[in-house]
Amino acid sequence: MNALYDIHGLAVRVQGLCRAAVPDINAKLQWFEVADDGRQADIEVRIGPFEPQRDGCLVLDRRYWARPGYLYVEESDKGLSWRAQIEGLDRPAGRPLRIRFAHGKANRRRLPWRLFPDLVMHLYVLWPVLECELAGRGLWLVHAGAVERDGRAVLIAGRGGVNKTALVAELCRRGWRPLSDDFVLLRQDGARGTVALAMPTSPRWFQFHLRHKEDEALSAWDKLRLLAYLYHRREVDVAFVPEASLGAVVLVQAVQGQTAPEASPMAPAPAAEALELNCRMERTAYVGHGFRIGRFLEAYRYVVPESTYGQPWETGLGPTLAKILADTRAFRLKTPRRYDARLATLVEGLE
Amino acid sequence: MIVDQYNVHGLVSLRVRRRRRTWADSFLDSTFAHYRVEPTAEDVDIDVEVGPFEADLAGTLSVDGRWWVAPGRVVYDSRLKVGRWRTEIAGLDGDRLRVRIASNTPARVVFPGETIYSLLRLSLARRGHLLLHGPAVTSGGRAVLLAARSGTGKTITAVNFARRGWGFMGDDSAILTAQGVRSFIVPFNLRFTYDVQRLLGIRFGRRKRAEIVLKRCLSAATLGYINLFSRIDPADVFGGRLVDAAPLAAVYLLVQGAETRVSDPRPVEPFAESVLINTLFEADQLRAMLLAYRYGNPGSPLATLWDEAREALRRRLAGCLCRRVVVPARYGPDVFDTIRSRAEADLAGEAPP
């Protein structure tokens, strides 16, 4: 199965997606899918067996092979294994980045992954590359949900598990409109200030929470319902707002032993730092022994230290977020670890 | 209470307190044996207490369900194979770290490598010293640093240098200070797939030989799940050749590739980045912990830790000969000869300071 995604101007073509999978989890970029007109994509991904071209490469840790412009990795984490090859790092403008990806034997046999095998590629290979490519175009991928009312967007940032999705869904039930529940892109747009662009990674999943399940604590029965819901490819009729100018940032943090949620304003500098780390920690969310998301980009830099690939993201994320937060109000929302329906009232009260 | 105290060249001091000693503690006991000092009453930089403890998590920020973060303090759980341990590090914003570790017995083999190395790395970096991954060897009072990933042949290279009369500063890491290189001598951690006696050019006693055979059998019987390494104290092998401190003259970055090749001198600017990444790769757990900590405590002085390390590394590498050495996967004698002749030429080519 092939798909062409247009992420606010960045074209990504993925070939060889698994057909039988639960599509919403399998392909995180579904919402951006457009009709394939055969255009030249900026990132070309092909899933399937391939022969790596390792001639002239230097080897690190027996898992990274790199030479200028080229990287081949063999990685494994939590029983999954995969091979990937990236061609065209440090390429001149206008040329595509070519990614080849092959599953290890066990990936499709293990049960949860059998339902969404290509998530491995999205999570571990495409996402760090996407962050770098988008940053090079002035789009900053931020791990946060967002809702909009009267043309102003409120960013709801936080680590996984602090009930971002449930909070966004609850706000939408109260008349806000969603941009996204998990990721947004921020762009500095001169006179308009900062613009938040939608990046819903699994719209049906969000719709499930909106209609059928208030909180994110899923029992085994809920998980089955969710999978059935996603598998049947229900029509997505939630209208995601494509973009809105940024009004406020809310940082949701789970506090041990907290009984009721409480909100407090946050100074711009700490808010920007926390937001930056919230993005950076996505790459350390699954630190195994010798594995970390995006480590392959560092391995490439090790062999080609003069490379500038990924540098806009690496060095620009902090300063850009600091600039954005300097003229945006920010709040910290302390919440109990269990979902509390009063969160939404608090967020509405902030405005 | 059993108290062990270590002092690494007066750069950082470490104290480990335990209620009892188990079989699994031999790893920790032997690792820093070279730096053991008599316990003193005064404050140390890293104070570790091993044993069950009650972590006070109330009011801490729960990050990813794995880290609990409060001002100056972080608590987290780790696991590796059958080892499980919980660590609490306090005093992160200050100069002295207070650490408590509760672990099951198998983890007592594992956590010194992970946690205590991380703490040393952090504590040294806070004081402007870098624990670089890679051995250093000296000749004529000047040091050559051999930065490399594990498995590239850094131990073999360092040992071969020492066997030919060069000064030896440890086979795994070296500390780079503003004044030059300080040694970091820990036991050789050799896979028993190597012929250790031939590699080191020594002959073990009967007991050590039996121990190696036993460890090999254990590894084979558990299909490689339990891998006990042969730990040999460098002082026993290269007693008189251990060197404590030397100014840095050259840095070689050893990378695995197709055939042996020594590059021309590289400019420090991009080269230092490779040396830094080589070290950061060893510190994945520490970096993840610091990100989680800073997420809960924005404005922490730890924010600039790695940037300062990068700057310090650039400054200290300036004026050194920086070369990249490509080493083939099969490390033959000719590989070492190439590296040695280059190192000798490099050290001879410059007038000594």
**Structural domains of chain B, ranges and CATH numbers in brackets:** 2-127 (no CATH), 132-187+233-280+311-348 (3.90.228.20)
pLDDT mean over A240-261: 93
Instruction: List, in sequence order, every residue forming a beta bridge with B50; answer none if it has no partner.
Output: B18, B101
Residue A333 to residues A148, A322, A330, Cα–Cα distance (Å): 18, 19, 10
Question: What local confidence, expressed as pLDDT, does residue B353 receive?
Answer: 38
Give the pLDDT score at A351. Answer: 66
Q: What ipTM was predicted for this assembly?
A: 0.94
Distance CA A154, CA A248 (A): 5
Contact by Cβ (8 Å): A44, A97: yes
Tell if the CB–CB gap between B61 and A253 is shorter than 8 Å. yes
Candidates B114, B273, B326: best to mutate against A (most CBs of A within 10 A) is B273
Does the pLDDT of residue A304 top 90, yes or no? yes
Confidence of residue B24 (pLDDT cuts 50, 70, 90): confident
Q: What is the mean pLDDT of residues B294-305?
A: 93
| Confidence (pLDDT) at B352 | 42
Average pLDDT of every residue of chain A: 92
Say how many CB pairs under 8 Å bridge A and B.
105
Check residue A236 and give its pLDDT. 86
Q: Cβ contacts of residue A321 below 8 Å, gap of 6+?
A: A140, A142, A186, A272, A275, A276
Given CB atoms, is A319 within the 8 Å cutoff of chain B? no
Residue of B nearest to A163 (CA): B64
User: Is B65–A161 a contact, with Cβ atoms under 8 angstroms apart?
Assistant: yes
Whole-number pLDDT of residue B351: 44
Nearest Cα of chain A lies from the Cα of B93 at a distance, in angstroms, of 16
pLDDT digits (tens, 9 = 90+) for A139-151: 999 999 999 999 9
State the Cα–Cα distance between residues A314 and A308, nearest whole angstrom.
Answer: 10
- Rounded Cα distance between B53 and B73, Å, is 15
What would the mean pLDDT of A1-29 be, rounded to a whole number? Answer: 91
> Which residue is closest to A158 within chain B, CA to CA?
B63
pLDDT in tens, B175-227: 999 999 999 999 987 776 667 788 888 888 888 888 888 888 888 898 877 77
pLDDT (tens digit per residue) in A278-302: 999 998 877 777 788 999 999 999 9
Q: Find the residue in A nearest to B66 (Cα).
A: A285
Residue carrying the six token digits 């990100």: B291
Task: Write the DSSP assignment of A314-347 as a string of letters.
Answer: HHHHHHHHHHHHHTSEEEEEEE-SS--THHHHHH
Q: Report the predicted TM-score, pTM, of the whole model to 2 decimal places.
A: 0.93
Contact between A179 and A147 (Cβ < 8 Å) = yes
Q: Give me the phi and psi of B257, to 5 degrees please.
A: -155, -160
Q: DSSP class of residue B106? A: T
Neighbour-count burial for B305-321, b at 16+ CB within 10 Å, e otherwise = beeebbebbbebbeebb
pLDDT at B320: 92
Contact residues, chain B, for A289 at CB < 8 Å: 80
> Phi and psi at residue B83, in whole multiples of 5°?
-80, 135
The yes-or-no verdict on residue A180 having pLDDT over 70 is: yes
Chain A residues touching residue B299 (CB < 8 angstroms): 269-270, 273
CA distances from B44 to A205, A344, B13, B120 (A): 52, 48, 5, 12
Scanning every residue of chain A, which has its alpha carbon at the shortest distance from the alpha carbon of B300?
A: A270
Contact call for residues B130 and B145 (beta carbons, < 8 A): no
